[in-house]
Amino acid sequence: MGLGVFSRTEERKTKGRRKRITEILMVMESQLGLIEKSFSTRYSSLVQEALDELHESFTITDPCISGHPIVFASRGFLKMSGYSKDEVIGKNGRMFQGPMTDRRSVMEVREAIREERSIQIMLLNYRKDGTPFWMLFHLSPVLGKEDGRAIHFVAVQTPISRILRQIIGNDNHPVENRARFQEIVFGSCRKEVCSDSLVEFGCVPAMGSAVVVSDNKGLDVEESCEACELEKQRTATVIENILSLLSHYSELSCRLDCRKRSCFGKMRPLGSAITISLSRIQQSFVLCDPHLPDTPIVYASDAFLSLTGYARDEILGQNCRFIQGSNTDETTICEIKESIQRKQACSVRILNYRKNGSSFWNLLHISPVRNATGKIAFYVGVQLEDDCKNEDSQGMSPEMRHRGVVGAVRVAVRTLSMGAGPSE
C-alpha cells in the first residue's frame, strides 16, 4: 500500500516536471518564432550575432507585432535589469515600470512611438529585484525604405551614475577627471568588442560595468534625476551606431532607412482619425511638423488649396516659405521665425503668392499646438486674405476666426494623442 502511494506520488512529480519542461520549450519556441518573424525578412542571418557582440544596454521592439513586444535584448540590458532573456523577449517595455515611474514621461514616450520619432528622456525604471534606478532613455525608430514607416524601435538605456557626475562636475582637475571618466566607462570593456569588424560598422567600445551597475542605493525616487552632457552624447552615439549596424545588415542594403526622414517622400502621413477631424474645418490653414527637418507641411485644408491654387501633392512636405516671393517683407519673416523659436503665437500681415504668380495680402496667424502631454506636436498656420473686410458674413473678426481654427485643431490633436496607441 505504501509503495503504491509512493509510486503515484513520484509519477505525479514526473508528470509535473515533464509539463514544466514542455511549457519552457513552448515558450522558447514561441520566442524564437517571434524573433525569426521580426528579423529574418529584414536583415541577413548574421545580424543577431553582431548585436550579441554589443555590450551596451539596449532593446529592440517590433511595433508591427501585436503588443509591440521586445524582440531583442542586449547583454548589457539583461545585466542592468536582472532579468533573463527568456523573461524579456515577447514582453512589452512597460514591465520595467513601477509605482514611482512618472506617468507624464510614459505618455511622452507613447506619443513619440505613435508619431514614429526619436525621444531622449529621463525615466525611473525598476530592476527584477524591485530596486529603482534613474536612466537616460533614448528611443529611435528604424524606418523601412519602401513606405517610410517604423518597422522597429531601438531603445538605449543609460543608468545615471552619481559617481560620474561628481567626477565630471569637478572643474578643478578637468584633464584628470576626463581620464578617470574614460577609465570608468571604457576600462572594463572586452577587447574583442573593439575588433576591426565592429569598428567597420561604426560600433564604439561597450560601456563598463561601473556604468551598468549605477550607484543608486538609497536613491530618493521622488527626486528628479538629470543626465550630464557626456551621458547624453554617449547615449546618442550608441543609438547611432546600432542603427548603422542594422543598416549594414539589412537585406540587399535597401530595406532600411536609418537616417532621419526627408521632408518629402518618406514623410509619415497623418492618421485617418485626425485627417477626418481636420477636414471638417472649413477655413484656410496648414499643419506643420516641427519634429521633421525644415518643419514641413503635413496637412493642408481644401480652403488653403483654393486660396493658393496649388494641388495637395505639391504642398505636402514643403516648408511654408514656398508661397513667399520677391516682395515679401524680410522683417515680417524674421518676426515669424522669432515667434516660433520662442514657441509663441504670432499674427502678421504678409505678402504671399499664388501658384499663378499673383500676390495677395495674407492675415496670417501661427500658433503652436500641444498634445496631451503638453509637448508641441505641430504648428498651425491660419490664412485669411485681406480684402479690406474686417469681419465675415457671420460678424466674426479675423482674430476670432483665427482663434476658432486654432481651437478646432487643438481639439483634434489632443483627442488623437489621448486615444489608444502603441505602448511604450
Q: What pLDDT, on the 0 to 100 scale, is given for residue 191?
A: 37
Confidence of residue 197 (pLDDT cuts 50, 70, 90): very low
Question: Which is more confident, 255 or 12?
Answer: 12
Confidence of residue 200 (pLDDT cuts 50, 70, 90): very low
Confidence of residue 272 (pLDDT cuts 50, 70, 90): low
Question: Which is more confident, 276 or 271?
Answer: 276
Please tell me the least confidently modeled range out of 154-168, 315-329, 358-372, 378-392: 154-168
For the chain, list the domains and their CATH numbers. 25-257 (3.30.450.20), 272-417 (3.30.450.20)
Q: What pLDDT, on the 0 to 100 scale, is given for residue 14?
A: 73
Q: What is the mean pLDDT of residues 98-127?
A: 91
Which positions ≥6 away from 418 have C-beta within 8 Å? Answer: 372
Q: What pLDDT, on the 0 to 100 scale, is given for residue 375?
A: 86
Q: What pLDDT, on the 0 to 100 scale, is given for residue 267?
A: 54
pLDDT at 363 over 50: yes
Q: What pLDDT, on the 0 to 100 scale, is given for residue 126?
A: 95
Confidence of residue 64 (pLDDT cuts 50, 70, 90): confident
For residue 330, how far is the Cα from the chain centroid? 35
pLDDT at 107 over 80: yes
Q: Which one of 2-6, 34-38, 360-364 scores highest in mean pLDDT?
A: 360-364
Q: What pLDDT, on the 0 to 100 scale, is given for residue 297?
A: 92
Q: What is the mean pLDDT of residues 216-244?
A: 70
Q: What pLDDT, on the 0 to 100 scale, is given for residue 250?
A: 76
Q: Distance between the two ends of the chain, CA-based, in angstroms? A: 58
Per-residue model confidence as pLDDT tens digits over 124-172: 999 999 999 899 999 999 887 767 788 899 999 988 865 444 444 444 4
Confidence of residue 40 (pLDDT cuts 50, 70, 90): confident
Confidence of residue 332 (pLDDT cuts 50, 70, 90): very high
Q: Which one of 8-22, 74-88, 195-209, 403-417 scores highest in mean pLDDT?
A: 74-88
pLDDT at 276 over 70: yes
Q: What is the overall mean pLDDT for the chain? A: 75
Q: What pLDDT, on the 0 to 100 scale, is given for residue 368?
A: 95
pLDDT at 306 over 90: yes
Helix H, strand E, coil C: the string for the chain is: CHHHHHHHHHHHHHHHHHHHHHHHHHHHHHHHHHHHHHHCCCECCCHHHHHHCCCCCEEEECCCCCCCCEEEECHHHHHHHCCCHHHHCCCCHHHHCCCCCCHHHHHHHHHHHHCCCCEEEEEEEECCCCCEEEEEEEEEEEEECCCCCEEEEEEEEEECCHHHHHHHHCCCCHHHHHHHHHHHHHCCCCHHHHCHHHHHCCCCCCCCHHHHCCCCCCCCCCCCCCCCHHHHHHHHHHHHHHHHHHHHHEHHHCCEECCCCCCCCCCCCCCHHHHHHHHCCCCCEEEECCCCCCCCEEEECHHHHHHHCCCHHHHCCCCHHHHCCCCCCHHHHHHHHHHHHCCCCEEEEEEEECCCCCEEEEEEEEEEEECCCCCEEEEEEEEEECCCCCCCCCCCCHHHHHHHHHHHHHHHHHHHHCCCCCCC
Q: What is the mean pLDDT of residues 53-75?
A: 89
pLDDT at 206 over 50: no
d(CA 299, CA 323) in angstroms, rounded, equals: 15
pLDDT at 90 over 70: yes
Confidence of residue 391 (pLDDT cuts 50, 70, 90): low
d(CA 182, CA 398) in angstroms, rounded, equals: 59
Confidence of residue 199 (pLDDT cuts 50, 70, 90): very low
Q: What pLDDT, on the 0 to 100 scale, is given for residue 95?
A: 92
Q: What is the mean pLDDT of residues 174-197?
A: 41
pTM greater than the 0.75 cutoff: no
Which percentage of the chain shows pLDDT scores above 70? 68
For residue 24, how far is the Cα from the chain centroid? 34
Residue 353 β-bridge partners: 359
